[in-house]
Structure 1
Amino acid sequence: MSFLQSLESALNTFVAYAWGTPLLVLLVGGGLFLLISSRARPYRHLGHSIDLLRGKYDDPNDPGQVSHRQALSTALSGTLGLGNIAGVAIAISAGGPGAIFWMWVTALVGVATKFYTATLAVMYRGRDSSGEIQGGPMYVIREGLGKHWRPLAYLFAIAGLCGLLPSFQSNQTVQLLRVSFAEPMGWVSADNSFLFDFSLGLVLALAALAVISGRIQRIGRFAVRIVPAMVIFYLLLTLGVIAYFWQGIPDAFALIVSDAFTGKAVAGGALGAVIATGVSRGAFSNEAGIGTESLAHGAAKTTEPVREGVVAMIGPIVDTLIVCTCTALVILLTGVWQQGEGMEGVSMTADAFSSVFGGWGPVLLLVMVVPLAFSTIVTFWYYGMKCFVFLFGTRFQVVYTVLYMLLIILGAVLSLNIVNSLIIGMYAVMAIPTMLSTIRLSGRVNKAAHDYFVKTPGA
C-alpha cells in the first residue's frame, strides 16, 4: 500500500470516528435543546431579519467591521457554492437520497443553533494581540467561560486551521473547468492534466490574494455583490431542470423521505450511514453548530448581539433548505445518481444539467460555481487567519497568507478524497467546542433575547 493510500485510509477512519453517534447527538440533540430552550423564539422573529438586512438599524459608529448584510453575505459565501453543488452529490452517492432528509433536519435545528452562536459571537467579542476587536467561538470561550475552558478555544482554533482549507474549492473548481472546457476542446486528457490544474490553481491563488489584501472589509463588499446574484442565477437554473421533470417531483420527495429511514440506497442498507452522511454534509453545507459562521457574524457593526443572531438564522434556510434541495432534486430527477459512484462531486451535478441543457449545462453551472467557490476561498482565508491570530498573534500573519496561497495551488492537483476527508474530519472537531460553549451560555442568550424583543417594537 502506498503512502497516499495509507493516508487516505487513516483519514477515512478518522472521519468515521469523528462523525460517530456522540457528535450527531451533540449537533442535532444540542440544536433541539436550543430550539426548546428558546421556546422557538428565533423562528418567530425571522421577519425582523429583513429590516436588519435593509439597514434600518445600522449605525456606522457601532463597533465592528462590516454591516449586517455584509456579515451575512460573507457567512453565506463560506457555505454556498461547492458544498451545495459537489457536497450534495457526494452526500447522495455516499448515503443515498435519504441523506438529504437528514440534511434538512440539520438545517431546521440549525436555525436555532445559528441564532445562539452568532449572538454569542457579538456578545463575547474579544481583542487580538493588536487590540482589534474580534468574534468567534474561541473568543466566546475565552471571554464568556473563563480560563478553565480555554483549552476548548485552542482546540477550535487548531481545528479551524486544518478544516478551513481552500483545497476542496480549488480542487472542484479546477475539475469543473477541466471537464467543461479543457477536455472537450482537446487541450488536456483526464490522465494528463497536471500542468493545466497547476496553472489554474496559480491563477486562483493570485486572484484571491488581490481580494484578501483588503481584509474583511473588502471581502464583505465582494461577497455582498456576488452571493445574492449567484444564488438567484442558480435557483433559476435549477428550477428550469425541475420544471422539465416536474412530473417526477412527488416521487423524488417520496424517495428522500422513505430512504431516510430504510437506507436501501446504501450498500448493505446501513441506515446509520444515511444519517451520518446527511448530518455531516448538512453541517458542512450550512455550518450550523460548527462555529465558522460566527467568525463572520462576530465582525458585524452592532451593539445589540441579538440582532446578528436574527440575521444569522437566514443562513441554513437559504443554504440547505433552498439551494441544497434544488441541487438534490436536479440530481434525483435526472437519474444521474444511479449512473456511478459519483464521488467526483461536481461532475455528477454537471452531468445532471447536461441532460437538460446539453453542452451548455456545465457552462451554465460554471458561471455560478466559479464566483461562489472563489468567494468561499477568500472567506476561508479570513476564518483561518482569525484562528491563526488567536494562536500565534498578529505578528506572523504573512506566513499564514503565503501558506494559504500554496494550499490553493496544491488543492488543484491533490486527490479529492484525501482533501475532503481532512476537512470533514476537522469540521467535526470544530463542532465540539462550539456546541459545548453555546449550550453552556444559552441561558444568557435567552435573557438577552427576551430583553431585546421586549424593548424593540415590531421586531
Structure 2
Amino acid sequence: MSFLDSIDAALAAFAGFMWGTPLLVLLVGGGLYLLIYSRARPYRHLGHSIDLLRGRYDDPDDPGQVPHRQALSTALSGTLGLGNVAGVAIAISTGGPGAIFWMWITALVGVATKFYTATLSVMFRGRDSAGELQGGPMYVIREGLGRKWMPLAVLFAIAGLCGLLPVFQANQAVQLLRESFAVPLGWVGSSDSLLFDGAMGIALALATGAVIAGRIQRIGRFTLGIVTAMVLFYLSLTLIVIVAHWQEVPAAFALIFRDAFSGEAVAGGALGGMIAIGISRGAFSNEAGIGTESLAHGAAKTREPVREGVVAMLGPIIDTLVVCTCTALVILLTGAWHEAEGIEGVTLTANAFSEVFGHAGPLLLLLMVLPLAFSTIVTFWYYGAKCFVFLFGARWQWIFTMVYVAQIVIGAVAALGPINNLVIGMYAVMAVPTMISTLLLAGHVNRAAHTYFTTPQRRTDV
C-alpha cells in the first residue's frame, strides 16, 4: 500500500469513526433531551416563525446584518442540495424504506436543537478583531462559557475551516453538468473532460467571487431567491410524480412505517444498522447540532435571541420533513428502489424521475441541484470566513478568500480522495463543541423563552 493510500485509509477510518454511534447519540440524544427540557414549548410557537419571516417584527435599527428570512435562507442553502437528493437515495438503497422514518426522527428532535443553538448564537454574540458583531458556536463558547473553554471554541473553528471546504460541492456540480449535458451532447468524451471541468471550475469560482464580494448581505439576498425558487420548483416536480401515482401513496407510507421496525429491507435484516443509516443521513441532511446553523442565524438583525430560535426551527421541517420526504416518495412510488443495488444515490433519484419525465427527468433534477450546490459553495465561504477570522483576525480574511476560490477550481478537476474523507470527518467534529456548549447553556435559553413567550409587550400575538 502506498503512502497516499495509507493516508486515504486513515482518513476514511477517521470519517467513519466520527459519524459513528457516539456522535449520533450526541446529536439525537442531545436533541431529545432538549425537547424534553423545553417541555416542547418551541413546538407550540411554530406559527410565530411565519410572522417573523414575513417581517412583522423587523427593525432596521436592531443589531445584526440580515433579516430573519435571509438568515434562514442562508442556513438552508447550506443544507439543501445533494443531501436531499442523493442522501435520501443512499438511505433507501442501503437501509431500506424504513430508514426514512429515522430521518424524520432526526428532524423532529432537530427542531429543538436548532431552537437552542440559534437562540444561543444571538444571545452570546461577540466582537471579532475588527469590532464587528458575530455569532456562531465559537463566540457562544467564548462569551457564554468563558475563556477557560476557549480550546473548545478553537476546535470548532479549526474543524469548520477543514469541514467547510468547497471541493466536494464543486466536484459534484461539475460532474453533474458534464454527465447530464456535455457528454450526451458530444461536447466532451467520458475520458477527456479535463478542459471542460477546468473551464466550469473557473466559471464557478468567478461566479462565487462575484457573490461573496457583497459579504453576508449579498449572500442573504442571493440565497433567499435561490432557495425559495428551487424548493418550489422541486416540490412541483415531486408533486407531479406523486399525483401520477396517488393510489400508491398510502402503501408507500405504510411501507416506511412497517420497515422502520423490522429492518427487512436492509442487508442482513439488521434493524440497528437500518436505524443508524437513517439517523446518520438525517443528521447529515438537516445539520441540526453541527453548528453551521448558528453561523448563519447569528447574523440575524434582532434584539430578541428567542425570535431567531423560533425561525431556525423551520430548517429541519423544510429540509427533512418536506423535501427529503418528497424525494423518498418519488423513489418508492416509481419502484426505482427495487433496482437500487449497485446504483449510486443521485443516479437512483434520477432514474426515479425518468420513470415519469423520461429523458428530461435527470435534466430537470439537474436544474434544481446545480443552483443549490452553488448556493452551498457561497454559504460555506461565509461560514469558513467566520472561522478563519476568529482564529487569525479580520485583516487576513482576503488570504482565506483567495485560497477558498482556488479550491473551487481544484475541486472541479481533481479526484477528491483523502480530502473528501477529511471534509466529512471534520464536519462531524464541529458537532462536538456545538452540542456540548448548547447543553451547558440550555438553561439560559429556557429562561429567555419563558420571559419572551409570557410577555405580551414582546409578542403582540400572545
Shorter-chain TM band: over 0.9
Distance in 1 (CA, whole Å) between partners of 2:256 and 2:2 is 38
Does the alignment pair 1:27 with 2:30?
Answer: no
Paired amino acid for 2:402: V
Shift of 1:265: 3.1
Paired amino acid for 1:427: Y
Match of 1:194 in 2: 194
CA shift digits 1:410-453 (9 cap, x unpaired): 22234467555333322321111111110111111000000011
Contact 1:122 / 1:308 at 8 angstroms: preserved in 2? yes
Match of 1:438 in 2: 438
> Compared with structure 1, are the counterparts of its residues 404 and 58 closer, same or farther at alpha carbon in structure 2 (3 Å cutoff)?
same
Paired amino acid for 2:138: M
Contact 1:141 / 1:150 at 8 angstroms: preserved in 2? yes
Distance in 2 (CA, whole Å) between partners of 1:156 and 1:178 is 35
CA shift digits 1:61-110 (9 cap, x unpaired): 11100001111111111111222112222333333323222211110000
Shift of 1:4: 5.3
Match of 1:76 in 2: 76
Mean Cα deviation higher: 408-417 or 130-139: 408-417
Contact 1:122 / 1:297 at 8 angstroms: preserved in 2? yes
Match of 2:364 in 1: 364
Match of 1:289 in 2: 289
Shift of 1:331: 1.8
CA shift digits 1:114-170 (9 cap, x unpaired): 000000000000011111100000100000001221111111111111111222222
Match of 2:408 in 1: 408
Shift of 1:258: 3.2
Mean Cα deviation higher: 442-451 or 354-363: 354-363
CA shift digits 1:41-71 (9 cap, x unpaired): 1000000011111111111011100001111
Structure 2 residues not aligned, in runs of 5+: none
SS in 1 for 2:262: coil
Contact 1:280 / 1:424 at 8 angstroms: preserved in 2? no
Distance in 1 (CA, whole Å) between partners of 2:268 and 2:404 is 40
Distance in 1 (CA, whole Å) between partners of 2:395 and 2:71 is 25
SS in 2 for 1:97: coil
Contact 2:100 / 2:328 at 8 angstroms: preserved in 1? yes
Shift of 1:189: 3.0
Mean Cα deviation higher: 110-119 or 151-160: 151-160
Report how many aligned residue pairs link the two structures.
Answer: 459
> Compared with structure 1, are the counterparts of its residues 421 and 100 closer, same or farther at alpha carbon in structure 2 (3 Å cutoff)?
farther
Match of 2:220 in 1: 220
Match of 1:354 in 2: 354
Match of 1:130 in 2: 130
Distance in 2 (CA, whole Å) between partners of 1:252 and 1:418 is 38
Distance in 1 (CA, whole Å) between partners of 2:5 and 2:268 is 24
Paired amino acid for 1:196: F
> Compared with structure 1, are the counterparts of its residues 277 and 290 closer, same or farther at alpha carbon in structure 2 (3 Å cutoff)?
same
Match of 2:393 in 1: 393
Contact 1:52 / 1:68 at 8 angstroms: preserved in 2? yes
Match of 2:265 in 1: 265
> Compared with structure 1, are the counterparts of its residues 418 and 326 closer, same or farther at alpha carbon in structure 2 (3 Å cutoff)?
farther
Q: How big is the alpha-carbon RMSD for the aligned residues of Structure 1 and Structure 2?
A: 1.8
Q: Output aligned runs, 1:375-394, within 5 Å.
A: 375-394=375-394
Match of 1:18 in 2: 18
Contact 2:103 / 2:320 at 8 angstroms: preserved in 1? yes
Mean Cα deviation higher: 301-310 or 423-432: 423-432
Distance in 1 (CA, whole Å) between partners of 2:341 and 2:324 is 19
Distance in 1 (CA, whole Å) between partners of 2:190 and 2:373 is 22
> Compared with structure 1, are the counterparts of its residues 442 and 383 closer, same or farther at alpha carbon in structure 2 (3 Å cutoff)?
same
Match of 1:170 in 2: 170
> Compared with structure 1, are the counterparts of its residues 94 and 305 closer, same or farther at alpha carbon in structure 2 (3 Å cutoff)?
same
> Compared with structure 1, are the counterparts of its residues 251 and 418 closer, same or farther at alpha carbon in structure 2 (3 Å cutoff)?
farther
Mean Cα deviation higher: 163-172 or 31-40: 163-172
CA shift digits 1:324-352 (9 cap, x unpaired): 11111112222333434466432322222
CA shift digits 1:271-294 (9 cap, x unpaired): 333222222221221111111011
Distance in 2 (CA, whole Å) between partners of 1:334 and 1:154 is 47
Does the alignment pair 1:90 with 2:72?
Answer: no
Mean Cα deviation higher: 141-150 or 82-91: 82-91
Paired amino acid for 2:406: L
Match of 1:143 in 2: 143
Does the alignment pair 1:458 with 2:457?
Answer: no
Shift of 1:182: 1.3
Contact 1:90 / 1:343 at 8 angstroms: preserved in 2? no
Match of 1:113 in 2: 113
Contact 1:125 / 1:134 at 8 angstroms: preserved in 2? yes
Match of 1:60 in 2: 60
Contact 1:90 / 1:342 at 8 angstroms: preserved in 2? no
> Compared with structure 1, are the counterparts of its residues 191 and 335 closer, same or farther at alpha carbon in structure 2 (3 Å cutoff)?
farther
> Compared with structure 1, are the counterparts of its residues 333 and 283 closer, same or farther at alpha carbon in structure 2 (3 Å cutoff)?
same
TM-score, L = length of structure 1: 0.95
Shift of 1:5: 4.4
Contact 2:94 / 2:267 at 8 angstroms: preserved in 1? no
Structure 1 residues not aligned, in runs of 5+: none
Mean Cα deviation higher: 420-429 or 164-173: 420-429
